[in-house]
Amino acid sequence: MVSEHAPSATAQVLVASNRGPVSYTLGEDGTLDAKRGGGGLVSGLSAVDDKLWVCAALGDGDREAVRRGVGEAGVRMLDIDARVHADAYNGIANSVLWFVHHLLYQTPVEPVFDAEFRRQWASYETYNRAFAEALAEEAGPGASVLVQDYHLALVPGMLRELRPDLRIGHFSHTPWAPVDYFRLLPDDIAEQLLRGILGADRAAFLTRRWADAFIGCCTEILGGTGRTRIGVHGLGADADFLRRRSHEADVDERMAALREQVGEGRKTIVRVDRTELSKNIVRGLHAYRALLDAHPEWRERVVHIAFAYPSRQDLTVYQDYTAAVQTLATEINGAYGTESWTPVVLHVKDDFARSLAAYRLADVALVNPIRDGMNLVAKEVPVVSDHGCALVLSREAGAYEELGEDAIVVNPYDVTGTAEALHEALTMSGDERSGRTKRLAEAATALPPQQWFLDQLEALRQG
């Protein structure tokens, strides 16, 4: 199952995650193109020497790279059987665990835990075991292993059995479900997941709220968290990187293009998300339409720039959600637009430079998830903003714990309330907006990625 690889067995810091720091695409002429990813973990880990990142091969390009022995130093990609990976990633991780932690089920009809679920669960176990075995092979004596997220919840327990000498941490990038919701899972599965994570010396979360929910589940279902320590590390925005990157030429070009689309003298409400069910993009569009109804003075004077980038398109429910976003944006433009004004500018093609351009231009940022582990957009906008930006923020985002005081806080289900929050944000005075943006940027950058990662490592080693 696991690709051939000569184990170094010297690495002192190991990270394990489903998605790795690099991915490959296979060209028609057979060439492999490498693309490096970004994100908190990539910059966090750059502060550490003598490390190894273990991840899964995610597509044909990655698999071909493993077969040809193409790769980067410090990265080991596991060529797990494609069917097993699809069951584990699409079936269990994204269609069950993601739904549980983000409270996404339509409970009168779902979930249904039947034989198909049990079959996929067996793949989830196999996939977790492949990671545990690779980590056991690669880790030097007494090394620290940081296992990431709901994809790999069983790895800490499995790895502990294979290598009791290791220090094992688990980090959840998602929220954690409250116990009543977590108990939708079959009892044996709920127990297995908790015991898997409790195989770690330390289980950490993005906020106190998610850590407490995990402790609540362990207490109620298992009677406690045992010997595992629980930690909280609130990942912050990478200010140095963002400030530098957002002033590069390609971002300036995209700003010019966006300004053209918005039109002279108009305000902007910006949102940037993966097209992800938990991000609440559809209700955001409803709230924008409600704003135009309740406060018609904004017609022709504001544009909603919505970037909704493709995500998990193997799942029908994500395809349907993407279509719903596009349909609603078109409907609003049809109903309210004029010859000189397009009320919603929707872009679906992922473009980081354009996202930064929108952050710089924004008068208002709309971040209204149903539930979110942290939400880094809420933290990045105030850092990058050119002239101060009011933040409309869901109280269900992890970022609310740190940014709540200077944001305009909304209940993400309350469309009327969100429309009023948008109005308040649009009418905020320039001075107030600048003051709030400054304080938001300070709070948002309190724990930069490198420190966030080093703190976890230090806490794990101290145990």
Tokens of 254: 């995209």
Least spacing, CB of residue 444 vs ligand F6P, in Å: 17
Least spacing, CB of residue 248 vs ligand F6P, in Å: 23
CA dist 256 and 258 (Å) reads: 6
Least spacing, CB of residue 336 vs ligand F6P, in Å: 33
Tokens of 414: 């309350």
Question: Interface with ligand F6P includes 234 (CB under 6 A)?
Answer: no
The interface with ligand F6P within residues 260-319 (CB under 6 A) comprises: 311-312
Question: Interface with ligand F6P includes 437 (CB under 6 A)?
Answer: no
CA dist 44 and 34 (Å) reads: 21
Give the count of alpha carbons within 13 A of 352, CB side only. Answer: 10
What is residue 15's three-state secondary structure?
strand
Least spacing, CB of residue 314 vs ligand F6P, in Å: 10
Least spacing, CB of residue 263 vs ligand F6P, in Å: 33
CA dist 132 and 191 (Å) reads: 19
Question: Interface with ligand F6P includes 347 (CB under 6 A)?
Answer: no
Length of the chain: 463
Task: Pick between residue 62 and residue 149 the one whose CB is nearest to ligand F6P.
Answer: 149
202-205 and 229-232 strand pairing: parallel
Least spacing, CB of residue 93 vs ligand F6P, in Å: 8
Question: Interface with ligand F6P includes 233 (CB under 6 A)?
Answer: no
> Which residue's Cβ has the minimum distance to ligand F6P?
173
Spatial CB neighbours of 106, under 8 Å, sequence gap ≥ 6: none
Site map 14..33 versus ligand F6P, x via CB under 6 A: -----x--------------
**Total residues at the site for ligand F6P (CB under 6 A)?**
7
Scanning the structure block, which residue is given the tokens 């010396």? 201
Least spacing, CB of residue 6 vs ligand F6P, in Å: 28
Question: Interface with ligand F6P includes 456 (CB under 6 A)?
Answer: no
CA dist 326 and 244 (Å) reads: 33
- N-terminal to C-terminal alpha carbon distance within the chain: 34
Least spacing, CB of residue 59 vs ligand F6P, in Å: 12
Least spacing, CB of residue 274 vs ligand F6P, in Å: 7
Residue 120, judged by CB atoms within 10 A of its CB (0-12, 13-18, 19+), counts as: buried
Give the count of alpha carbons within 13 A of 108, CB side only. Answer: 0
CA dist 96 and 123 (Å) reads: 14
Q: CB–CB of 421/393 below 8 Å? A: no
Site map 360..399 versus ligand F6P, x via CB under 6 A: -------------x--------------------------
Question: Interface with ligand F6P includes 76 (CB under 6 A)?
Answer: no
Task: Pick between residue 149 and residue 402 the one whose CB is nearest to ligand F6P.
Answer: 149
Task: Pick between residue 201 and residue 372 the one whose CB is nearest to ligand F6P.
Answer: 372
Question: Interface with ligand F6P includes 149 (CB under 6 A)?
Answer: yes
Q: CB–CB of 321/279 below 8 Å? A: no
Bridge partners, 381 (sequence order): none
Task: Pick between residue 181 and residue 318 the one whose CB is nearest to ligand F6P.
Answer: 318
Task: Pick between residue 311 and residue 450 the one whose CB is nearest to ligand F6P.
Answer: 311
The interface with ligand F6P within residues 163-192 (CB under 6 A) comprises: 173-174
Q: Which residues bind ligand F6P (CB under 6 A)?
A: 19, 149, 173-174, 311-312, 373
